């Protein structure tokens, strides 16, 4: 017997929040929406999971897949076939021309946080038969999207009742700092960060080489520094860590957000994290530390570590989707 | 003004050739078909390009994409927007559970060559308004798919009038042999090739670690050797190259197919190859050698080498698609 | 005409400072002493350069060499053949069973600083025709030895009149922190740092895998924590940086020693640093930062950066040896 | 109680065979000779082991060492302290400006085979109290030196009664061919092999980047092709393996020398090989194949495989030195 499969709708979403963003990135985005198998045959309302993609990707990346790398719709099909409540899955798009916005508002990249919270969520609640309440709304993601999920859940407790993060960017000491040095080498070879980024934009094949600059646009934007509007947390020439700028990053590190957002965290019905124990970005250390910090303030949660690395871990997504589907229903 | 975009149809294709294949791989496949922008508004007939995907992928991989890695439909849109004749693009599916079948018939994997030539092509010609003639039919692909394109074009001159290969598997000395040794190390650690493959099938995340075994299933199958039906071209313990088996591989190497298939090659209107000069599989050497062999027998063709490696070179696909669209129209 | 060559004496040196060190490392060491070509034919007194070897090496490493990797005696021969004043070169031995002691006193490793300053120097001044005065005494080294040279010169201005560092450990943020994470992975796989070190001592082939532990024995020893007597600057499980312990490391970072030792630095006649711009330990950032800090307090010095990495840069040693020979004479 | 240690003599050896070699390499070489502890207090004659160093090294490399990487004299001391008969160890020098000569005669590099067999051996037998007979003479080495040991023992059965190879170059398919491709990439970037080698000679820090060219000078020299006098076994542009040239290499591959030299092999009292099972040059496959070939013709020998890679395996040398010392005495 064949598995029942959901239906995919590609929403063409016009954002006001992203209009006139300084990067010149599009304010119209394609938002894939997964409607569960029975959606078209019922009048039921459904819980919704918002999925946040990783750095360098677009929302459409979530519907990409192959036999070896299951797409998100395919993961949801499996979760539902396994008996979990039918749930809508919305894939937000947070792409920028340098790779992503970490789902935060920033004068350098645009108001990606408002765009998710104030625009996409209400739109989905209007457009589809959702249960329009935080208790039935979750946020989930991988890598930068795992970061985004945690950050949004902590900063917007009225929007979400559950959160999950796969291999998320947690504890910036571990996941970002080790990358500063080769980035600075590249910037020095390019004769400065502005020239480096100018050149990046001309590449026929772009990759994550501008990662640290892109993150700086999110964590330490500077509206007074055209043309890219950010402060690096490190001196370009000497690599000296600049404590003021780094403090701005740290304030947005999930590990250090636990204290200020303890109430929000306590109010979440589901907090699920996982990470591979060979994560190239060392996200397993951050996940362990985040888990410890939650434990210290008595917040119930689940952290699973498995034997794998950071890449193509789509087979893990069923773990978070099932848990969220079950508790948000 | 917005670019006109083609329309994508996902064909659920039932193959007779793949029925009862020994790998137990599905005989029903999803074949994405790209119909060009004007298709629905005309009664015109169109040329068709068949695209063959790479190892470890499925046909659906071709419609995967992001801002940084354009999908095939997106590439076709661009080519057509640039003025090339509107053309249908059909994405064949050649996935097997170990990664792929190189688009050849094999008792180990199944009749993937017949499936393309005798089943998909006639089906497409029945189902869509094609120009059902070799002069208006091309075959194209990347990596293993580039190999497949060259092999099929040489072996089936009555089916295709043009061929292209991006970073194709050419000159097995360069692209495959250097990989034997780590494969043998892995097989030795697993205590033999059968156990190695048994274990592979249980992995939650599969990758190309069984590549050399999968290729052996294509190039040196052995119907008398269950359960996986192939001869390795190399002694598992000592790494000794087995000349008889290797000769079977070499006979299917595009470089050594040039002589036997000279007439077929001469009959092709378009032969386009490209490869990055830092290709991790050293495909640029094979492409140069193939190009030299074509030159020696006076076959007109084009080979372009560019500064890049083997991965995510989708931005190059417009080069072959444009050339094929122009000459097949 | 053949180059005149110096003569090598291997001193068997018995140290009181190293007696009863907690690592059980030998207190008798082989100290190679290079006597310049004319030493045996004159009654002249000579300046002395003390060379400090890198991590994992012994003093004898300095006399190792080949055509492609010139030994220190060979470098001194060249410098003298090039016209620099004849100078004695003494190769201190700072090996420990985990790789090295950074030439510091530590309850975990032993009193390696006293051993150089209070024992070897006076011994050499007694044993050889030296000019026993700081103005005629320099300290030089590579990698950990470059660190040692800078640290000893700053902390013992009465002992040295010149200092040089090749690819030295400077700015621990850059040269050490990125290595924490794989170290912790290894420690976690070994089920704790004590077991990890126990196992290390049984390896037939030892390497720098215990580097971070070995450095902790130097920078953050803890006499109350047997059997290895150190505090890691990072939580073993979560990777959390422990600020108190890290502060102890930072206090011994050459970059942060500039301020407290400004007078010592001003009193040095020669300060020479160099580093490859592709240094795997990112020592070029530290060297640039150290250079900037010296500039800020008006200390004359020379920093040269060249196109190379961290390994086998012996050909650079002539640069420091020549400068020191010239100014110490 | 302290271990008794041998005494090291550095012979300045003038070779006639190397005079006027085409590389302009020196014909005077430093040959370290290890005399066992009792040598100076007896009138006994001793067996002799000739040690051949690896590529890029000189004979002096053998006396290099540290606590973690024991030198050859140190290994001999240990072997003798362990009860093996006292034995002389002679370290031949086979360095060339591109890295080495594989201990063969070649119009491109010089007569390195004659130099060992016809010059050094007789010289040592004249100069020291040796037992000047093949039964008391062995040859041993690491990597290229392991190759040299096997090649010389097979080609000069009248000279040696025992042979050993650590991580030797065996089965060129495995140890050399995988390296062709990056070498060709480098040559192509340099605009041809001659320019590549010209530039190599100007490098301040030389390494094994010219390895394949250097090997070609040994295995496929061409006296008619100045200025470097060799044929590459591969087409520079296309990477096509050139069968005629490759056949010349294969004829010098230990694996294919077994048949032609079966009698020589049968006459050897000791044949010992070992290799790490993670050898980066895949020497473990060659060693296994060589071992199998010996087995097929009934030649007694020993092959040990251990868990390590190709580098710094000095701790293994005691294995061959002990066996040779015991059987050559």
Report the residue of A56, A66, A199, A307 to disrupt the B interface, i.e. the one with the largest count of B CBs within 10 Å.
A66
Chain C partners of A278 at a C-beta cutoff of 8 Å?
185
According to DSSP, the residues that pair with D306 across neighbouring strands are D276
How large is the C-alpha radius of gyration of chain B?
19
In this prediction the pTM is 0.96
- The three-class DSSP label of residue C141 is strand
Chain C partners of D56 at a C-beta cutoff of 8 Å?
66, 68
Which residue on chain A is closest to B311 by alpha carbon?
A: A205
Query: Residue C225's CB: how many other CB atoms inside 10 A?
Result: 12
pLDDT less than 50: residues of chain B: 1
CB contact under 8 A, B313 and A207: no
Six-digit token string for D301: 């020998």
Band of the pLDDT at D2, cuts 50, 70, 90? low
Report DSSP letters for C118-131, one per residue: IIIHHHHHHHS-B-
Nearest to B165 by CA among B180, B153, B149: B149
Candidate from D188, D239, D288 with C-beta closest to B174: D239
**Count, residues in chain C:** 329
Whole-number pLDDT of residue B66: 87
Nearest to A323 by CA among A285, A269, A284, A280: A269
Minimal C-alpha gap between A239 and chain C (Å)? 6
Asked if chain B contacts chain C via 3 or more Cβ pairs within 8 Å, the reply is: no
Whole-number pLDDT of residue D66: 86
Asked if chain D contacts chain B via 3 or more Cβ pairs within 8 Å, the reply is: yes
HSE at residue D285, side-chain half, CA atoms within 13 A, is: 25
CB contact under 8 A, A68 and B206: yes
CA distance C55 to D68: 11
Candidate from B58, B65, B205 with C-beta closest to A315: B205
According to DSSP, the residues that pair with D35 across neighbouring strands are D7
HSE at residue B40, side-chain half, CA atoms within 13 A, is: 9
Query: What does the mean pLDDT of chain D come to?
Result: 97
Whole-number pLDDT of residue C66: 86
Q: Does the pLDDT at position C65 exceed 90?
A: no
Minimal C-alpha gap between B65 and chain A (Å)? 6
CB contact under 8 A, A289 and C239: yes
Q: At what angle do helices C72-81 and C317-328 cross, to 10 degrees?
A: 60
CB contact under 8 A, D64 and C67: no
Angle ∠(A221,A216,C293) on CA atoms, nearest 5 = 100
Q: Please give the helix or strand (H or E) that residue C256 lies within, else none.
A: helix C254-257
Query: What does the mean pLDDT of chain C come to?
Result: 97
Report DSSP letters for A122-177, one per residue: HHHHHHS-B--SGGGEEEEEBTHHHHHHHHHHHH-TTT-SEEEEES----HHHHTG
Cα–Cα distances in angstroms (integers) from residue D124 to residues A173, C54, C56, D31, D137, in the given order: 61, 37, 35, 10, 11
Six-digit token string for B199: 């274990």
Asked if chain C contacts chain A via 3 or more Cβ pairs within 8 Å, the reply is: yes
3-state helix, strand, coil in chain D (%, to 5): 40, 20, 40
Which residue on chain C is closest to D313 by alpha carbon?
A: C205
Q: What is the pLDDT of residues A6-47, one digit of tens each?
A: 999 999 999 999 999 999 999 999 999 999 999 999 999 999
Percent of chain D past pLDDT 90, that is, above it, reads 96
Q: Which of residues 289-318 of A touch C (CB under 8 A)?
A: 289, 292
Percent of chain A past pLDDT 90, that is, above it, reads 97
The torsion angles phi and psi of A214, rounded to 5 degrees, stand at -60, -40
D61 touches chain C (CB under 8 A): yes
Candidate from A60, A204, A308 with C-beta closest to B205: A308
Q: Does the pLDDT at position C234 exceed 50?
A: yes
Nearest to D89 by CA among D100, D77, D103, D102: D77
Candidate from D174, D237, D289 with C-beta closest to B181: D174
Q: For B232-276, where are the alpha helices, taking DSSP H only?
A: 243-251, 254-257, 262-266
Mean pLDDT of D265-290: 98
Which residue on chain D is closest to B290 by alpha carbon?
A: D238
CB pairs A-B closer than 8 Å: 49
- The three-class DSSP label of residue A267 is coil
CA distance C315 to C305: 14
Whole-number pLDDT of residue D4: 84
Which residue on chain D is closest to B277 by alpha carbon?
A: D185
Q: Does the pLDDT at position A103 exceed 70?
A: yes
The DSSP bridge pattern shows strands C162-166 and C137-141 to be: parallel
Minimal C-alpha gap between D282 and chain B (Å)? 7
D58 touches chain C (CB under 8 A): yes
CB contact under 8 A, A288 and C239: yes
Band of the pLDDT at D1, cuts 50, 70, 90? very low
Angle ∠(C294,C297,C302) on CA atoms, nearest 5 = 30
Chain D partners of B289 at a C-beta cutoff of 8 Å?
235, 238-240
CB pairs A-C closer than 8 Å: 60
B181 touches chain D (CB under 8 A): yes
CB contact under 8 A, C241 and A278: no
CA distance D299 to D290: 11
Whole-number pLDDT of residue D292: 98
Which residue on chain B is closest to D290 by alpha carbon?
A: B238
- The three-class DSSP label of residue A105 is strand
**Hunting for tokens 């009149």 — which residue is that?**
C161
Chain A partners of B97 at a C-beta cutoff of 8 Å?
67
Nearest to C116 by CA among C31, C225, C12: C31
Minimal C-alpha gap between D56 and chain B (Å)? 24
Q: Does the pLDDT at position C274 exceed 70?
A: yes
CB contact under 8 A, B181 and D286: no
CB contact under 8 A, A68 and B60: no
Cα–Cα distances in angstroms (integers) from residue A162 to residues A48, A255, B276, D268, in the given order: 10, 18, 46, 75
C280 touches chain A (CB under 8 A): no
CB pairs B-D closer than 8 Å: 60
Chain A partners of C212 at a C-beta cutoff of 8 Å?
none
According to DSSP, the residues that pair with A87 across neighbouring strands are A47
Query: C7-11, C59-63, C199-203, C220-224: lowest mean pLDDT where?
Result: C59-63
Chain B partners of A57 at a C-beta cutoff of 8 Å?
66
* Residue B312 and residue B67 in contact, taking contact as beta carbons nearer than 8 Å: no
Six-digit token string for D110: 């010089």
Q: Which of residues 119-178 of C touch A (CB under 8 A)?
A: 171, 173-174, 177-178
Q: What is the pLDDT of residues D45-75, one digit of tens each?
A: 999 999 999 999 999 889 988 889 999 999 9
Who's near A244: CB < 8 A, 6+ residues apart? none
Minimal C-alpha gap between B288 and chain D (Å)? 5
Chain D partners of C57 at a C-beta cutoff of 8 Å?
66
Q: Does the pLDDT at position C2 exceed 80?
A: no
Whole-number pLDDT of residue A2: 55
Candidate from D61, D68, D313 with C-beta closest to C206: D68
Q: Does the pLDDT at position D90 exceed 60?
A: yes
Q: What is the pLDDT of residues B32-54, one digit of tens each?
A: 999 999 999 999 999 999 999 99
* Residue A138 and residue A270 in contact, taking contact as beta carbons nearer than 8 Å: yes
Nearest to B163 by CA among B43, B28, B299, B71: B299
CB contact under 8 A, D177 and B174: no
* Residue C124 and residue C48 in contact, taking contact as beta carbons nearer than 8 Å: yes
CB contact under 8 A, B58 and A66: yes
């Amino acid at each position: 017997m064949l598995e029942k499969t959901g239906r995919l709708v590609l929403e063409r979403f016009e954002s006001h929040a992203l209009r006139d963003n300084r990067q010149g990135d599009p304010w119209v985005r394609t938002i894939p929406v997964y409607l569960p198998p029975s959606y078209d045959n019922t009048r039921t309302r459904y819980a919704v999971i918002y999925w946040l993609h990783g750095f360098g990707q677009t929302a459409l990346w979530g519907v990409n897949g192959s036999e070896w790398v299951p797409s998100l719709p395919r993961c949801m099909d499996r979760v539902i076939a396994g008996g979990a409540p039918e749930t809508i899955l919305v894939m937000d798009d947070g792409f920028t021309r340098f790779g992503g916005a970490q789902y935060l508002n920033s004068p350098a990249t645009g108001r990606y946080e408002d765009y998710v919270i104030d625009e996409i969520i209400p739109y989905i609640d209007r457009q589809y038969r959702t249960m329009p309440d935080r208790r039935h709304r979750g946020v989930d993601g991988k890598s930068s999207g795992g970061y985004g999920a945690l950050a949004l859940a902590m900063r917007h407790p009225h929007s979400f009742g559950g959160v999950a993060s796969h291999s998320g960017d947690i504890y910036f000491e571990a996941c970002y700092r080790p990358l500063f040095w080769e980035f600075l080498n590249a910037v020095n070879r390019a004769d400065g960060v502005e020239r480096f980024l100018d050149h990046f934009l001309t590449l026929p094949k772009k990759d994550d080489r501008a990662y640290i600059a892109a993150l700086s646009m999110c964590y330490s934007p500077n509206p007074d520094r055209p043309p890219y509007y950010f402060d690096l947390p490190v001196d370009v020439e000497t690599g000296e860590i600049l404590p003021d700028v780094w403090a701005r990053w740290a304030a947005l590190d999930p590990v250090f957000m636990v204290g200020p957002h303890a109430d929000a965290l306590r109010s979440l019905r589901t907090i699920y994290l996982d990470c591979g124990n060979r994560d190239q970005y060392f996200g397993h250390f951050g996940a362990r530390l985040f888990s410890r910090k939650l434990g210290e303030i008595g917040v119930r949660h689940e952290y699973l570590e498995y034997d794998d690395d950071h890449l193509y871990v789509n087979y893990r997504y069923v773990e978070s989707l099932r848990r969220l589907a079950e508790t948000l229903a």
